[in-house]
Amino acid sequence: MPDNDDLKIKNIANELRRPVRVSAALDANIMRAIRELPRHARASLWSRLTTPRRVTIMPLSWGVLAASLAVFAILGAAHAYQDVHRAAAPIAKALFPKSNKPQAAQRVQFVLVAPDAKKVAVVGDFNGWDASHADFQATHNGGVWSVTAKVPVGHHRYSFLVDDSLWVADPSAPRAADNDFGVPNSAIVVQSQE
Amino acid sequence: MIRFARALVALLFAAPAVRAQDPALSSKLDKPTLLAVSAIIDSARAAKLPTKPLNDKALEGAATGADGPKIVAAVRQLSIRMGSARRSLNSNATPDEIKAAVDALQAGVSTRDLALVQSASGKRPVTMPLAVLTDLIGRQVPIPTATSLVLQLERAGVKDSELSLFQRNVRADIERGADPIAAATTRAKGLVQRGAPGTNKPAQ
């Protein structure tokens, strides 16, 4: 029996080893058949967006997404709280003044002798360098221009703006060293009333 | 999903930097200048430096009609000086003290002398002493003399109100023709002798 089986296997092997004749037109026939198949249309952006598709998401991803959104919301709330708190602080101070706390602002008189001036304004850190600020427009009496306005406690730099064009340091105040823009500045240190 | 998570994390870290601009800045600076100034202000905020002086500097530049690059350069320079000033003062220095220290540095006071003034003042704020020091230097009192006088006054415990009066008196003396060194030295001597008996030794 074993010899009989060996013979059969040998015959099968010989048969498999025999070269097969393939028609020379086979490749061409196959390629022609492929070309005749309908082409896949390139999906448009709209169809890609609107065609339902199945998405697989790991459960862990939902956890990451939820945690990220939570942190984002907490940060946003913290910033909003800081802004509200910062904005509310002066109001709170005004509503509930404490006698032992420094006052937020003091009235300061600015004086400039400028007999030929037509207009004098005080411009500085305390009014956002806004020459049109209504509280800092000086009035004059015989060429002595003055304005008294509330200035926050602290260190400020400022200057007089004469006739909207000439910058003049306050001759009666300490000079500020910096002159970055070619404008002479004065310094004022406003202190709380003791 | 991973790409989405990355984008979300990037947004999360970018959120603190996205802040509303000061409306005054937005209305007075052109867009490139505003962006550059905002970046400097954000960096200062991250370094825990006061940002209002930077804001004010930009507004000052806009008010004086300076061009954008000049404004940006001034704001950047101020930011650098504020960093130096804060390193010279103690870590609890207030924004006003830092502003006054910046002025003093710009007048030529060394960071070492800033630290000396801070030390001589103890727990009292150095805003007024530094403003007076800057003013003296601006009125032609040499830096070593001005620094020495302010140190004497601080060590004598002279109050801020007296320092302010000292500054006004020295200015008046100079305007009447006095030599700046003589005016400052004489006025300081009087204050020290009157203000704090036993502490009127000249500073070295």
Cβ neighbors of A26 (< 8 A, separation 6 or more) are none
Report residue B42: phi and psi, to 5°.
Answer: -60, -40
Q: Is the pLDDT of residue B125 over 80?
A: yes
Least confident stretch, A69-83, A124-138, B62-76, B185-199: A69-83
Using alpha carbons, select from B119, B126, B188 the residue that is nearest to residue A155.
B126
List pLDDT tens digits, range A170-183: 988 888 877 789 88
Q: Which residue of B has its CA nearest to A65?
A: B5
CA distance A43 to A40: 9
Q: Is the pLDDT of residue A81 over 50?
A: yes
Q: H-helix or E-strand containing B170?
A: helix B160-175
Using alpha carbons, select from B99, B89, B202, B67 the residue that is nearest to residue B144.
B202
Please say whether the beta carbons of B86 and B49 come within 8 A: yes
Please say whether the beta carbons of B131 and A155 come within 8 A: yes
- Residue of B70, B139, B171 lying closest to A181 (CB–CB): B70
Q: What is the pLDDT of residue B32?
A: 94
Q: Is the pLDDT of residue A150 over 70?
A: yes
pLDDT band at residue A80 under the 50/70/90 scheme = low
B175 DSSP 8-state letter: H
Best probe of the A interface among B8, B64, B113, by most A CBs < 10 A, is: B64
B65: three-class secondary structure by DSSP: coil
Question: What is the residue-averaged pLDDT of chain B?
Answer: 86
What is the rounded average pLDDT of the residues B75-96? 91
What is the rounded average pLDDT of the residues B103-118? 93
Q: Is the pLDDT of residue B160 over 60?
A: yes
Best probe of the B interface among A54, A189, A191, by most B CBs < 10 A, is: A189
List pLDDT tens digits, range B9-52: 544 444 444 454 678 899 999 999 999 999 999 999 999 999 99
ipTM over 0.85: no
Residue with tokens 């198949």: A37
Chain B residues closer than 8 Å to A177 by CB: 103-104, 106-107, 134, 137-138
Q: What is the pLDDT of residue B6?
A: 57
Contact check, Cβ <8 Å, B24/A180: no
Residue B48 region, left (φ>0) first, then alpha (ψ -120 to 50), else beta? left
Kindly report the nearest CA distance between residue B110 and chain A, in angstroms.
14
Nearest-10 crossing angle of helices B160-175, B180-195: 150
- State the CB neighbour count (10 A cutoff) for residue B1: 14
Q: Is the pLDDT of residue A83 over 80?
A: no
CA distance A28 to A30: 5
Please say whether the beta carbons of B181 and B149 come within 8 A: no
CA distances B194 to B132, B187, B200, Å, are 19, 11, 9
Residue with tokens 């006061």: B50
List pLDDT tens digits, range A118-138: 999 999 999 999 999 999 999
Contact check, Cβ <8 Å, B16/A75: yes
Question: What is the residue-averaged pLDDT of chain A?
Answer: 80
A120: three-class secondary structure by DSSP: strand
Please say whether the beta carbons of B96 and A155 come within 8 A: yes
Q: What is the pLDDT of residue B45?
A: 93
pLDDT band at residue A42 under the 50/70/90 scheme = low
B116: three-class secondary structure by DSSP: helix
| Burial of B200: CB neighbours in 10 Å, binned 0-12, 13-18, 19+ | middle
Q: What is the pLDDT of residue A139?
A: 94
Q: Is the pLDDT of residue B199 over 50?
A: no
Looking at this protein, which amino acid is placed at residue A154? G
CA distance A133 to A123: 8
Tokens of B142: 């040499």
List pLDDT tens digits, range A2-36: 678 888 888 888 888 887 777 778 888 888 888 88
Q: Is the pLDDT of residue B5 over 80?
A: no
Q: What is the pLDDT of residue B76?
A: 96
Query: Which B residues 125-154 touch A at CB under 8 Å?
Result: 127-128, 131-132, 134-135, 137-139
Tokens of B154: 């601080």
Model pTM score: 0.65
Q: Which residue of A has its CA nearest to B69?
A: A181
Kindly report the nearest CA distance between residue A96 and chain B, in angstroms.
24
- State the CB neighbour count (10 A cutoff) for residue B60: 26
List pLDDT tens digits, range B162-183: 998 999 999 999 989 999 999 9
Q: What is the pLDDT of residue A163?
A: 95
